[in-house]
Amino acid sequence: MLKALIFDMDGTLVHSDPTHLEAFAEILGPEGVVIDEELYRSSIIGRTNEAIFASLLPHRTVEEHVAFADRKEAAFRRMALDLKPLDGLVDLLDWAEARGIGIALVTNAPVLNATHMLDVLGLAQRFSVKITIEEVERGKPDPLPYLTALRRLGLGPEEAIAFEDSPSGMKAAKAAGLFSFGVLTGLTAEEMKGFGADRSIADFHDPALWEILERRVAA
């Protein structure tokens, strides 16, 4: 029986990737790194800042990577002031709460970003469990963030459903044993299927989502 919904944040709760791209471009442009859609999709989306800056600035030190990441996230928070929840998300959260279904967040983002984004979206009180990058030794694509959320929820993977938009996130959710929806804010349905998605949805109004939710609740 379905007992929890577990959400990634960027690209899943909200279509924030364009704002992240803009923040990366602002910080890395002076370093001669051109951030476009192709590079964002191939080298940034869903990855940890540690991995991103190590690959884009390999000649810099780890300490410098941390400093660049801090500047990028500060720029993102400055830019991300008027984003809205993905279509249908609030209805889904209301539906889950009315049925006593737990709601959790699992993100590679730092806690400052998660707090800022949930406040901007008006969702700060909706998540009983929040796993940010500081909470775990290894971020996605490692399954540890999802396994940590399941442990805090007191549930097995068969009792929850995950929502992800990135290759690393989908790999993490599937490695943790979760039935997982791919949210198509950045990748195609075929791409998400290739990374393990059980189903793909354009947003949270998608009939494919509600068919499965109603069936899992009735199980």
Closest CA relative to residue 161, chosen from 207, 82, 118, 106: 106
The tens-digit pLDDT sequence of the chain (219 residues) is 899 999 999 999 999 989 999 999 999 999 999 999 999 988 898 889 999 999 999 999 999 999 999 999 999 999 989 999 999 999 999 999 999 999 999 999 999 999 999 999 999 999 999 999 999 999 999 999 999 999 999 999 999 999 999 999 999 999 999 999 999 998 999 999 999 999 999 999 999 999 999 999 987
Residue with tokens 């192709």, as numbered in its chain = 38
Token look-up 């249908």 returns 88
pLDDT score of 46 = 81
- Cα of 130 vs its chain's centroid, Å: 12
pLDDT at 209: 97
Question: What pLDDT score does 128 carry?
Answer: 94
Instruction: Give me the pLDDT at residue 45, please.
Output: 85
Told to judge if 10 belongs to the known catalytic residues of this protein, a careful annotator would answer yes
Catalytic: which of 10, 36, 198, 203? 10
Question: H or E stretch including 67?
Answer: helix 62-79
Confidence (pLDDT) at 79: 94
- Spatial distance between the Cα atoms of 180 and 112, rounded to a whole number of angstroms: 26
Asked if 119 is an active-site residue, the reply is no
Q: Kindly report whether the peptide bond that precedes residue 143 is cis, defined as omega within 30 degrees of 0.
A: no
Task: Identify the three-state secondary structure at position 7.
Answer: strand
Sign, CA torsion 39/200/204/141: negative
Half-sphere exposure of 211 (CA within 13 A, CB side): 7
pLDDT number for residue 91: 98
pLDDT of residue 211: 95
Give the integer Cα–Cα distance in Å for 161 and 152.
15
In this structure, the number of other CB atoms found within 10 A of the CB of residue 66 comes to 14
Question: Within 10 Å of residue 43's Cβ, how many Cβ atoms?
Answer: 15
What residues pair up with 182 in beta bridges, in sequence order? 164, 200
SS3 65: helix
Question: Across the beta sheet with 4-7, what order do the strands follow?
Answer: 129-131, 102-106, 4-7, 160-164, 179-183, 199-201
